[in-house]
Amino acid sequence: MKFAHGFLIVLLIFISGCSEVETFIKKMTEPPPLSISRRDSLRKRGKVVILKNNSDIFLYEVKVKIEGAPKIYSVATLNPQNIIEVGWMELGGWNPPLNFEVKVTCKGWLQPFVHEFRSDGQVFSSTVEHNIYQNYRLGMRISSNISVEYQQNADCIVGAFFYNSDQKPLSDQNADYNSSDGQVAAYTNYSPTAEHDRRNVDIFIPYDELHLSDGLHNLKYRISVFDGVTSTEFVSTGNYDFQIEYYQPPPISINIRDSYYWFAGKGKVVILNNTANFPLYNVTVTINDRSLHFNSIAAGAKEEIGWRELSGYMIPLGSTVRVECPAYKAPIEYTFNRE
């Protein structure tokens, strides 16, 4: 009985020794057992780093160095399963930015704990939907499934850049829908709501902003994601192929307003603007099943069509407007969505 009791004591000492040896080996070969996350400062003073001791041992002389910070934050002891937060208050008023490296050292641990918060991302897919109207203009919508890392609550810009079949950039001709170097491009803004954010992002471009000649075109585009503050590109894809058969429509913009006699139930008024610097001849406008013909619309002129011009027909929401001109192969057609 005494022998068994003694053996048990020796076994417990041996097991305890093994545990200490295991901890010693970890201290020699591994970083401290920390996990890291971050949040926005409640005072809107940059980011706050959250470090957690995930182990059942105490960590001593914990020193936290954040890239660019003017000082190192230190705590004497970080208890098991406890956390510390490091932000502008702990760093002497310095606001941690969006991108930085965190390096943590602890007494007795040879390897530091290192983590980088760097903007990154990936485009998983991108597709084109044709013949979409937006703001009364006909075009195409590019829908991309995008993952963005470490841009929570920041401003991001997603851009689509267009090329011909030989991968030469399409050249902008009107200082609209373009990049800084004159390439045809379209953009949209969005703000990720999580540190690891994935969503579908849509970009629209009117067909006439591609500046194409009439006919069938094989084109390409690529997607890029930028930091909205620094304009730094941190995601860029290869080229996606698409095909478009394009014929230039008449240079007319379409808008809609309420009739000034709305209180009498007089419906809507369609507004046509000739955006060209030359007149358009033999223009036919069809609104639902009612048609109106213009012998000409002068350069820069505006024509309004309402219940008076349509012999008392009151234009409702949901109406389809079609504009045709013999000099152009393609008509303009737009349906005003119901409210």
Tens place of pLDDT for every residue, the chain, 339 residues? Answer: 555 555 444 444 444 556 677 888 889 899 999 999 999 999 989 999 999 999 999 999 999 999 999 999 999 999 999 999 999 999 999 999 989 999 999 999 999 999 999 999 999 999 999 989 888 788 999 999 999 999 998 999 999 999 999 999 999 999 999 999 999 999 999 999 999 999 999 999 999 999 999 999 999 999 999 999 889 999 999 999 999 999 989 999 999 998 887 666 778 999 999 999 999 999 999 999 999 999 999 999 999 999 999 999 999 988 999 999 999 988 998 888 754
Compute the distance between CA of residue 306 and CA of residue 154 in angstroms, rounded to an integer.
46
At 7, list the tokens.
Answer: 């053996």
At 109, list the tokens.
Answer: 């641990």
**136 phi/psi in degrees, rounded to 5:** 70, 20
The answer for residues whose C-beta is within 8 angstroms of residue 228's C-beta and 6 or more apart is: 154, 155, 156, 157, 189
Compute the distance between CA of residue 255 and CA of residue 305 in angstroms, rounded to an integer.
11
pTM, two decimals, is 0.73
Beta strand pairing status for 185-190 and 156-163?
antiparallel
CA angle 259, 263, 264 (to 5 degrees): 85
Q: What structural domains and CATH numbers belong to the chain?
A: 31-117 (2.60.40.10), 121-246 (2.60.40.10), 252-335 (2.60.40.10)
The answer for residues whose C-beta is within 8 angstroms of residue 106's C-beta and 6 or more apart is: 32, 59, 60, 61, 62, 63, 78, 113
Compute the distance between CA of residue 332 and CA of residue 275 in angstroms, rounded to an integer.
13
CA angle 144, 146, 150 (to 5 degrees): 155
Q: Measured between alpha carbons, how far apart are the two ends of the chain, in Å?
A: 90
Backbone dihedral region for residue 15 (phi beyond 0: left; psi -120 to 50: alpha; all else: beta) = alpha
Residue-wise over 18-28: b if at least 16 C-beta within 10 A, else e? eeeeeeeebbe
